[in-house]
Amino acid sequence: QSALTQPASVSGSPGQSISISCTGTSSDVGAYISVSWYQQHPGKAPKLIIYDVSARSSGVSNRFSGSKSGNTASLTISGLQAEDEADYYCSSYTGRSSFVFGSGTKVTVL
Amino acid sequence: EALLVESGGGVIQPGGSLRLSCAASGFTFHAYDMHWVRQAPGKGLEWICLISRDGDKSYYADSVRGRFTISRDNSKDSLFLEMKSLRNEDTALYYCAKDLVAGAFDVWGHGTGVSVSA
């Protein structure tokens, strides 16, 4: 199972909105609602921010939102803040009780 | 507060074996499926295996199937990963993670490092 495709990097200025795409296939992202997003700061464990395509994890700011169209899921961060600078990973159920992560996107706040 | 603490990592020669442990606290361990996820140095996350809440079903990524075995002891709130025939490409930080729902990993440990090197 190949990793889901994410842009290597995305950047934005404080206060702006950015979106990160996560492209899979009709066998994973396109087939299931079990798409999640994680934030990982350097040297830290990943943190769940979005699950089931668009549900926010407990305690996560409403500046984070998720969506999906066809085989591509997206994470949008609105009102970008310095603390949002991190690596972001998507993941999807692939069937047969297996899962796959995205390649990861480094978000830089300019 | 839900907490996961991994242990057992270290430096091992290619072909060797290692057993990782993950101690859970702060949640009803036996009510949740559990996973191991790894991250090679400077690389992305890789899902490697899942065990059902009862421990009667387990599933593996192709990269580790036949070499790694996931298990759990619900009486001790513990998760394990038995790794055999280790390869250089198994070098990574290994995380245990709790499954909130269908592969949404809502609690992670801090990870334990495994380095496979001659």
In this predicted model, what pLDDT tens digit does every residue of B70-90 receive, in sequence order?
999 999 999 999 999 999 999
CB-CB neighbors (< 8 A) of B37 in chain A = 46, 101
How far apart are alpha carbons B85 and A84 in whole angstroms? 39
- Average model confidence (pLDDT) for chain B? 97
No. of helices (H) and no. of strands (E), chain A: 0, 10
A109, pLDDT greater than 90: yes
pLDDT digits (tens, 9 = 90+) for A3-14: 999 999 999 999
Mutate to test the interface with A, among B22, B105, B106, B107 (most CBs of A within 10 A): B105
Contacts of B11 (CB under 8 A, 6+ apart): B115, B116, B117
Band of the pLDDT at A96, cuts 50, 70, 90?
Answer: confident
Contacts of A109 (CB under 8 A, 6+ apart): A11, A12, A13, A14, A80, A81, A82, A84, A85
Contact B108 A47 (CB under 8 A): yes
Integer CA distances (angstroms), A94 to A51, A91, A102, B41, B87, in order: 15, 9, 12, 25, 26
CA distance B81 to chain A (A): 17
CA distance B95 to chain A (A): 8
